[in-house]
Structure formats: structure tokens, C-alpha cells
């Protein structure tokens, strides 16, 4: 049931994001053509960092003060962070040059390849 909900939310989010990116509204308060997609994504990432940083401080302030922010972050976690960042950049490129249907196919193929490769690597 949760997977169905996630799939529906992801599909609606993809269609809405494509609509926002690819349409120009005449009553918009700012001219989107002045800003690139990458610039707007950096703005969104900055807001995410602020919100998640505030949440980390509220939830784990004592542990962060005692052990530091990067406690238990090792090479495997670094690879996961880099992989997530590259995945985000790939999604940005797909959104810029393709539509949400192609993004759906790309996501499905990436999930399949990740499952197949992880079965060989971690088995």
C-alpha cells in the first residue's frame, strides 16, 4: 500500500514539475528565463539544507556536540552521498532535456540495474 502511494505521489510530482519547468506564466512575479534550472535547484537545495540542519539540531543536538557532525561517516557513506548527488544531477538533466514519461522509464531502468548489480556485488 505504501509503495502504491509513493508511486502515485512520484508520478504526480513529476508531471507537476514538468508543467512548472516547461510553461511560462504571464502573471509570474519573476521572469524564469533569467534563471537556469541548475540555479533554481541550488536554491531548493539550500532551503533543504536549512530545514534538515534545523531538524538535526532539534533531534540530535547532544550527539552532534559530543561526537561531531561527521561521526561514523566512512567511505561507504561517502560513496552513498556522491551517488545520491550524481543521481540528482542526472534527474535534473533528464528533466531539462526530456519529459516525465522518459524520466519514468529511466527511473525504472535504474531501479532494475541497481537491483541486479547489488545482487552480484553484495551476494
How would DSSP label each residue in 41-53? HHHHHHHHHHHHH
What is the C-alpha to C-alpha distance for residues 92 and 108, in angstroms, rounded to an integer?
A: 16
pLDDT value of residue 65: 92
C-alpha torsion sign, points 87, 91, 94, 97: negative
What is the C-alpha to C-alpha distance for residues 80 and 62, in angstroms, rounded to an integer?
A: 25
Average pLDDT over residues 50-75: 90
Question: Residue 86: is it exposed, middle or buried by C-beta count within 10 angstroms (0-12/13-18/19+)?
Answer: exposed
pLDDT at 54 over 60: yes
Average pLDDT over residues 23-49: 72
What is the C-alpha to C-alpha distance for residues 5 and 91, in angstroms, rounded to an integer?
A: 21
pLDDT at 25 over 60: no
pLDDT value of residue 51: 92
CB-CB neighbours of 106 under 10 Å? 14
pLDDT at 8 over 60: yes
Amino acid at each position: 500500500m505504501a509503495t502504491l502511494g509513493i508511486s502515485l505521489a512520484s508520478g504526480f510530482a513529476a508531471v507537476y514539475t514538468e508543467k512548472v519547468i516547461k510553461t511560462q506564466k504571464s502573471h509570474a512575479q519573476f521572469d524564469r528565463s533569467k534563471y537556469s534550472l541548475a540555479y533554481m535547484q541550488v536554491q531548493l537545495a539550500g532551503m533543504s539544507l536549512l530545514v534538515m540542519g534545523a531538524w538535526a539540531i532539534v533531534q540530535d543536538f547532544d550527539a552532534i556536540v559530543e561526537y561531531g557532525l561527521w561521526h561514523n561517516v566512512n567511505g561507504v557513506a561517502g560513496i552513498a552521498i556522491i551517488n545520491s548527488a550524481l543521481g540528482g544531477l542526472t534527474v535534473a538533466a533528464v528533466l531539462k532535456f526530456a519529459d516525465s514519461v522518459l524520466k519514468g522509464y529511466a527511473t525504472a531502468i535504474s531501479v532494475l540495474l541497481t537491483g541486479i548489480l547489488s545482487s552480484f556485488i553484495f551476494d
